[in-house]
């Protein structure tokens, strides 16, 4: 009779941790009232025919709290960067001065803050679903082991308890991350 090892749990816990990492990346792209270079992470430009992330073709700085400055290393990319920003969903019009692009973030309206909070809550819910799917995958695997008499019924119930504890731990972490981002968004 084999048992479920710590490594078995560890692999499922790593998958849950990966879900949290993806959530953190997604939350970083949601802009609060301040300028954050991470909102540009999803923007790509065509650089010599290759789709390249903006932060690999330009220096991005924060000269003021509500402003980003994009200075491309190759000035011929200015128009391409400007088009990419306009086509993105960040909702800010780029100002091109011929050598760099300036993005000025307007103060968020109450309505926009609420919309962003809903978006953040949806991201959190999707991550919780992903974590619960990982739990289900584990339970399916444990059920097969029990059915094949590789583990006893007691071991199956113990594994059920352990995976539920992991699931609770990670869904609580999701709630904390979502709550923190929501507070950041609603702060004026």
Q: What percent of the chain has pLDDT over 70?
A: 96
CB 45 within 8 A of CB 81: yes
Q: How confident is the model at residue 77 (pLDDT cuts 50, 70, 90)?
A: confident
Residue 84 has, within 13 A of its CA and on its CB side, a CA count of 22
Set out the domains of the chain in order of their start, with CATH numbers.
6-29+109-186 (1.10.132.20), 37-102 (3.30.1360.40)
What are the DSSP calls for 112-153, one per residue?
A: HHHHHHHHHHHHHHHHHHHHHHHHHHHHHHHHHHHHTTSS-H
pLDDT at 60 over 50: yes
* Model pLDDT, residue 114: 87
* Model pLDDT, residue 1: 40
63: part of which helix (H) or strand (E)? strand 58-64
Average pLDDT, the chain: 87
Residues 161-171: pLDDT tens digits? 999 999 999 99
pLDDT at 2 over 60: no
pLDDT at 158 over 60: yes
Q: Is the pTM of this model over 0.85?
A: no
Task: Note the helical H segments in 36-109.
Answer: 78-87
């Amino acid at each position: 009779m084999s048992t479920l090892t710590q490594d078995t749990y560890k692999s499922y816990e790593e998958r849950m941790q990966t879900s949290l990492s993806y959530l953190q990346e997604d939350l970083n792209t949601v802009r609060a009232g301040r300028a954050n270079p991470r909102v540009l992470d999803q923007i790509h430009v065509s650089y010599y025919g290759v789709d390249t992330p903006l932060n690999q073709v330009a220096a991005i700085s924060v000269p003021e709290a509500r402003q980003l400055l994009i200075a491309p290393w190759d000035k011929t990319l200015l128009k391409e960067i400007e088009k990419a920003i306009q086509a993105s969903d960040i909702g800010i019009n780029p100002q091109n001065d011929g050598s760099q692009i300036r993005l000025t973030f307007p103060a968020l309206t109450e309505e926009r803050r609420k919309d962003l909070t809903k978006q953040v809550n949806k991201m959190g819910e999707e991550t919780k679903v992903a974590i619960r799917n990982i739990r289900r995958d584990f339970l399916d695997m444990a059920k097969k082991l029990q059915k094949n008499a590789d583990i006893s019924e007691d071991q199956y119930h113990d594994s059920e308890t352990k995976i539920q504890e992991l699931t609770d731990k990670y869904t609580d972490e999701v709630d904390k991350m979502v709550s923190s981002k929501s507070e950041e968004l609603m702060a004026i």
